[in-house]
Structure 1
Amino acid sequence: MPRSGPLTGVRVVDLTAMVMGPYCTQIMADMGADVIKVEPPAGDNTRYISVGPAPGMSGVYINVNRGKRAIVLDLRTDAGKTVLRRLIETADVFIHSMRAKAVTKLGFGYDDVAAINPSIVYTNCYGYGRRGPGRDRPAYDDTIQAECGLPAVQEQLTGEANYVGTIMADKVAGLTALYATMMALFHRERTGEGQEVEVSMFETMASFMLVEHANGAMFDPPLGPAVYPRTVAPNRKPYRTKDGHIAALIYNDKHWNAFIAAVQPAWADERFATLELRARQIDTVYSLVAQTMSERTTDEWITLFAELEIPAAPLNTPDALFDHPHLNAVGLFETVDTPHGPVRMPGVPTWFSRTPGRIAGPTRELGADTDEVLRELGLDRDACGL
């Protein structure tokens, strides 16, 4: 499919696997970059972790590797390394998710790659940053969620330590890798200088968690624990209505005054008069509202909250998102024709007036574009010894 988007003309050599790195480069592909996915002969493990229309084409893999060109190189061989070096010569970005020792041993650490292409942006996607003692530890979403405190926060909220029901660490770190790489490309556009970028899941998620939870622990001496009380209040959960559930946040003073005037005039007293007072007893506020919410149906509350301009929403399942009227109206989903039939994908969630992105194309079979990329480099498979 023709490339479009603000990254048209940018070439990315992608040696990432699983989700963190591939999610980063999937967005780059949707924004117009020519992303060349380099896989070992066995392929990225994500090809095999969920259902799919064909072997090696799982749903998770298809979604985060769409629009990339797929080549196979065995980097344990001299032939594979030679081709990768030629590819690096043509690239703007080199991104990988191997541990530091492994990529250096292969001969593709930053110094090796910069010697080939000094202006390249080289992005490391790690579990733990190289400057700390955890640098050689393996990392997956579950272990990073645990280490950054997410299950502990869930325990305060629900009474039981749990992971959240999405691979949050992988995806937040992938978005961080994207913006870090884009910043380095912006610097290169201004100065011509390439550089090395490092993004680690643990540091990213620690920073992410502490946006609000650092709270009183930031000060010297501390003014309180590292926790944002509202998010861990036991009664912070969807409200049960007469016929189901609803999410609503009667938060600022405007929301609160509108709610009590329409629903509970008896609460118009000094105990809850300001946001500051309500914040100090937020779990009590949640409990009181919960009792009232059970008196009407979900649709009745949705209608009333819309009139009062109070944020509210029904509880959807992930399946329901595919038929959500707002998402369909803004065109989030795109159907892509593939050799295995049409695939309806969640597309680009951002909008550009001049350089809009789009789903860059179908996800490719393992190694499907190896010959094409070799030809572009002026190489022949047999002559290369591949």
Structure 2
Amino acid sequence: MNSLRTIALIAGLTLAAALGGAEAAPRDPQGALGANFNEHLDMLRFDELELGRTKWVRGFYPMPLADKQPPQDNPGIRNLLQAEDRGYGTVLNMKFPFQKRAFPKPGTPAMAREMQRVTKLLDAVMGRVDILVIGNEPFIESRPADRNENLNAFYEYIAKQVIAFRRDKCGADCSTQLYLGALNRLQSPRHQTPATDRWVRYAASEPDIKGVDIHPHVASIKDSQPFVDYVLQRLRPDQRFLVTEFSLVHHWKKHLTDAAPAGFLAKYDMPPNLEVWQVIGAAIKSPFPQKKWNDFLASSRWYESRKNYICNQMALFRATKRLAVATHGYIQGPEAAKNWSPDKTPWLLNSVFATQTVRNWPDGTPGRGYAWIDDFRRCANP
């Protein structure tokens, strides 16, 4: 399944040399930092990856999409596999949306349909992507009433089928590693439940599973420590963890209704007494020049004081010596700017590239997220 990679390696070349991509990512990552595209893998551009100096790419695939189009024809999957062929390391989460319905039971037609979707995706990516994560955010992408043994039973059934497929179709030396993912909100004791405990302990019980994924979207770095402690206390010593999403989004949200910096408003002849969310709204309506966006955030103490967040957060993860890959939000997706209001979660303040709030540069590349591009480059490779 990795014939192109194998040919390049036999020839003494990396795929990056053969195809003009990045220097090939290590196949067994140790503390890498990559670019997270979530559902927007179709928006992946290789010139932007090169600007960030990363070797890893991550996104997720909503499983119902397999009903409408073969996964190998999905633009996002095509981009991810092209990244693999260019020498990038690749991470793909399988997203099972069950917010409005119960998990199906084994032996039912509904479960058979789920397995058809899973098989279609595995046929397309097993042996091609480096890391396949079984699940995306199961304790969010489910009904509250099902966040118990029902959730565990469903994901354990799917995991066993994925493990069996990997063994039967990809072989003992299959290059795709399996993880279970991902856990959210572990900074709150009420979200540390019997179901989350069983989740990690199940991963520890399966020799074919390399570890688990966590998503610490927090208000401060210290709130990410419980995530790391929780999973490492339950995993096998040989297992590691992924962090395919992380951010300070809850810190940003607390400041959306702050007064915007007066000096900034005066400098750019904007109305006085605007709040932060209104300045961001103006940038969404008519994207700012890079300098104006930078000046706005640099003069906002709540943001400027956190401008080294990515490297500081990566230092905490890497200190464990158990981090495989972490990936940080790379672009502002269109939905992050849609229906903007002071109550909207400000995901767009996380992104390395500010595609919705900053004008493109003269070379055609998107505007940068203030501070993040430099911090991301500094920490992209351990």
Normalising by structure 2, we get a TM-score of 0.27
Normalising by structure 1, we get a TM-score of 0.27
Tell which has more relative contact order, 1 or 2 (C-alpha 8 A, sep 6+): 1
